[in-house]
Chain A
Amino acid sequence: MSITTTGNLGPMILQSLAPAMLYVPTPTMNYITVCDKVSMPANGGTTCRFMRPRALQPPTVQLGNSGIDPPAQVPQRDIIDAQMAFFGTGCIINEQVILQDQEGVLAWVSERLAVAMRQAEDLILRDYIVSAASEINAGGGSNGFNPTNLGVSDFSLVATTLDTNNAYKFMTGIEGMDRFGTGPVRSAYFMLSSTELQSDFDALVGSGFLNQWNYPTNASALPSEYGSVYNIRILTSSEAPVARNAVANSSGTLNDLYYNTVLGKQAITHINQDGYSMNLIYRDPYYSGMLAQNATLAVKFAQAQAITQDTAIRQLLCTRQSNLGV
């Protein structure tokens, strides 16, 4: 008896494309989330200028009965400038690709370009903050490095610093509810951290860390929010800055250095110019050469950034309790 199998009568076409594309691993983009947003006008020059009035001295000396006015104060202000910069990238796609590929190449390439642009916005902000914001080394942990791993006292210290600087918190508190395992959440600043620190946060459960799942309600929690410690709510992302093996103790053991950005409202401002952001540009092959072979897809955007309240931002540098090798 002869049995016909795929070994001697295989399918004419061996593969078919699964109905949906696989997801593209993409970090959460926290930096753009916490920025103030400002748009420079068209024909507005190259530089966005911010003005912040300075406080006048409170008149605490009584006038007395002399009838003489006190000397006038001279109002002053701080000027902060940021220069606009332009960015862009694109793809050149031959018409044969568009003609022959089974998937909508232009559609998914457009999507990728858009994500690349948004990620560029976030990375620029990330690196700018690393460059320009002042730093506090964590000292509340016990691992002996400088900085140490995060201890709850570090959260307290940074929040105290920002409070003392009269920074504005982002979030109002969440009142406690009669639900098992939950606890009230304080009004809070945001801290932008690495996902690699989540195990260290978990180690602080019972010492002050409250997982987002243990909020009385997580209606106000952001998608990347991992939890809170005292007056700081923690957003994590895999793209948060890390300097690998940047710290060593006396025995030569290495640890990674993490930059946790703790900030209040208006600390960082993201600036675009006249909506010159998220320009997706498609040029038909008609515009390329005499045989019109290649289409182009590109994105471009304009962006500037500034620390607009230097008193409302600190980078809390830390190492991990132990390097887990991930």
Chain B
Amino acid sequence: MTEYSRMAKGSFTASASTAIINLPFIPDYVEVNNYTNIAAAAAASKTLRAFWDNTLIVSSNNPTMLEGYSSGSVMVGDVIATNGISTFYAGLSQQFGPAQQVVASTKGNTTSFQVTGHGYQVGDTVIFRGLFQSATTGMPQMNGIPFTITTITDANNFVVNYNSNNAAYTNLSASPASAFVEKVLYPFLYVPQDNVITAITTGSTTTITTSMYHNFEVGQEVAFRIPNAWGTTQLNSLPNLVIPGSPVYGYVISVTDNWTFVVNINSSAYTAFTTNIAVASVPGLTFPQVVPVGDVNTGGNVIFSGSSLYPAPRFPTSSSRVSTINGPAIRGAFVNNTSQGFIIGAGTATNNTSIKIMAANDVIEWRAFLHDYSSP
């Protein structure tokens, strides 16, 4: 062993064909062994081992090398040119993926977008811009709102949580010149965060739907900022007519899913929430928001099977939860979630395009290194 090198290893059961591995360093070499495929009998188009070196550049790509079975179940070598193993540095906000043309959209209680070969997954957060069909039509009310994708319809279509099912919205078609979408690379560097509201169900308690993962916990104290155009302004923390100056907050009493939660405010008599806002009103339109204020929690996350007694905070809120790399904290606290490490991507091999590094439920063993000496 040399003096300053870094080595790490681990294993996990894959929940999908991609995975993010947080490390205390950015590796320059990664090995991934697919135990499930190694243990099984030879089968067509399976990866046994993948390895990646950050100094290996071929045709401007930094490929991932594979050992696995061909389509004829014969041991072969192959290469994933892009979207194999790569590193990440989630330390700064305002980093975006490439802009992709929005071809068309379909309005409804949720809104569907057609983007050719979008490459997104459920859980990716995207931002639209220029959703105009003409100067006076389209869906520009949705511009600038971060949306965490709820459904991947197919390789060219996905769905976000936004009710565009009213007269103010017009479907996009024929690839409008201004309409693009970008992926937000690191949307949850700090949690909990400000969230844009896309739906409110009023009643004896109030159900809130957000555009992206809200990352709120039960017991979270929240405040609302709802401009007049969106309807339910009575939820706003100020003004307070009973105790002037004292903000009125709500508490999260249940978390339905990553986009939906319930607060303890009786909104039965409040104005209905609406997204029916004219295109002409878009310049200067401020979005309805819910912001974290505080919490009433006193301990760590809810103890679940396999967790330590005081686990680190986890996000997103309700499913596929990932721990932050910090130690224990209070549920609902403001938490730093910056991180670094490597990504196992869902890219396919060059010669056999059916081969990926892993699939859901595969048992994966990995090792990551940062070497003292590298040539070049």
Q: Which of B132, B189, B237, B333 contacts A83 (CB 8 A)?
A: B333
B284 to chain A minimum Cβ distance, whole angstroms, is: 2
Query: Within residues 37 to 62 of chain A, which ones have a CB less than 8 A from any CB in chain B?
Result: 46-47, 49-50, 54-58
| Selected interface stretch from A14-22, A98-106, A209-217, A238-246 | A238-246
CA distance A47 to B144 in the complex (A): 33
Contact between chains at B329 and A80 (CB < 8 Å): no
Contact between chains at A131 and B327 (CB < 8 Å): no
Q: Which of A134, A147, A165 contacts B284 (CB 8 A)?
A: A147
A104 to chain B minimum Cβ distance, whole angstroms, is: 23
Contact between chains at A247 and B3 (CB < 8 Å): no
Contact between chains at B178 and A131 (CB < 8 Å): no
Contact between chains at B132 and A250 (CB < 8 Å): yes
CB of A218 closer than 8 Å to a CB of B: no
- Binary interface encoding of chain A residues 80-113 relative to chain B, with 1 for a CB under 8 A from any of its CBs, else 0: 1111110000001000000000000000000000
CB of A136 closer than 8 Å to a CB of B: yes
- Binary interface encoding of chain B residues 178-190 relative to chain A, with 1 for a CB under 8 A from any of its CBs, else 0: 1110100000011
CB of A307 closer than 8 Å to a CB of B: yes
Q: Which residue in chain B gives the minimum CB-CB distance to A130? A: B93
CA distance A271 to B246 in the complex (A): 25
Number of interchain pairs (Cβ within 8 Å): 182
B263 to chain A minimum Cβ distance, whole angstroms, is: 15
Known: A81-B334, A251-B177, A311-B237. A146 touches B143 (CB 8 A): yes
CA distance A132 to B289 in the complex (A): 11
Contact between chains at A250 and B135 (CB < 8 Å): yes
CB of B285 closer than 8 Å to a CB of A: yes
CB of A183 closer than 8 Å to a CB of B: no
CB of A227 closer than 8 Å to a CB of B: no
Q: Which residue in chain A gives the minimum CB-CB distance to B131? A: A248
Known: A58-B243, A134-B289. A250 touches B178 (CB 8 A): yes
- Binary interface encoding of chain A residues 241-279 relative to chain B, with 1 for a CB under 8 A from any of its CBs, else 0: 111011111111110010000000000000000000000
CA distance A245 to B138 in the complex (A): 20
Query: Within residues 297 to 311 of chain A, which ones have a CB less than 8 A from any CB in chain B?
Result: 304-307, 310-311
CA distance A38 to B4 in the complex (A): 35
In the bound complex, residues from chain B placing their C-beta under 8 Å from that of A310 are: 223, 237, 247, 291, 293
In the bound complex, residues from chain A placing their C-beta under 8 Å from that of B4 are: 92, 294
CB of B313 closer than 8 Å to a CB of A: yes
CA distance A58 to B240 in the complex (A): 13
How many chain B residues touch A (CB < 8 A): the figure is 66
Contact between chains at A145 and B178 (CB < 8 Å): no
Contact between chains at A47 and B286 (CB < 8 Å): no
B84 to chain A minimum Cβ distance, whole angstroms, is: 28
In the bound complex, residues from chain A placing their C-beta under 8 Å from that of B326 are: 46, 83-85
B30 to chain A minimum Cβ distance, whole angstroms, is: 22
In the bound complex, residues from chain B placing their C-beta under 8 Å from that of A131 are: 93, 189-191, 193-194
CA distance A243 to B70 in the complex (A): 44
Contact between chains at B334 and A305 (CB < 8 Å): yes
Contact between chains at A248 and B130 (CB < 8 Å): yes
Q: Which of A132, A136, A250 contacts B192 (CB 8 A)?
A: A132
B308 to chain A minimum Cβ distance, whole angstroms, is: 13
Contact between chains at B330 and A130 (CB < 8 Å): no
CA distance A248 to B180 in the complex (A): 9
CA distance A288 to B372 in the complex (A): 14
Q: Which of B127, B135, B225, B330 contacts A49 (CB 8 A)?
A: B330
Q: Which of A50, A132, A165 contacts B238 (CB 8 A)?
A: A165
Contact between chains at B144 and A128 (CB < 8 Å): no
In the bound complex, residues from chain A placing their C-beta under 8 Å from that of B192 are: 132
CA distance A46 to B327 in the complex (A): 8
CB of A138 closer than 8 Å to a CB of B: yes
CB of B108 closer than 8 Å to a CB of A: no
Interface centre among A55, A56, A123 (most CB of B within 10 A): A55
In the bound complex, residues from chain B placing their C-beta under 8 Å from that of A252 are: 130, 177-178
Contact between chains at B130 and A250 (CB < 8 Å): yes
In the bound complex, residues from chain A placing their C-beta under 8 Å from that of B138 are: 250
Interface centre among A47, A164, A288 (most CB of B within 10 A): A47
B347 to chain A minimum Cβ distance, whole angstroms, is: 27
Contact between chains at A135 and B190 (CB < 8 Å): no
A281 to chain B minimum Cβ distance, whole angstroms, is: 15
What would 6 A/B residue contacts be, using CB atoms closer than 8 Å?
Answer: A83-B336, A128-B336, A242-B94, A247-B143, A250-B134, A311-B223
Given contacts A134-B225, A252-B178, 11 further A-B contacts (CB under 8 A): A79-B295, A132-B192, A134-B194, A137-B286, A146-B282, A245-B129, A246-B182, A248-B180, A250-B140, A250-B178, A288-B3
Binding site for A on B (CB under 8 A): 3-4, 92-94, 96, 99, 127, 129-130, 132, 134-135, 138, 140, 143-144, 177-180, 182, 189-194, 221, 223, 225, 237-239, 242-243, 245-247, 249, 282-287, 289, 291-297, 313, 326-330, 332-336, 338
Q: Across chains A and B, which 7 residue pairs bring their CB atoms closest together, nearest first?
A: A139-B284, A248-B130, A81-B333, A83-B329, A250-B132, A252-B178, A55-B246
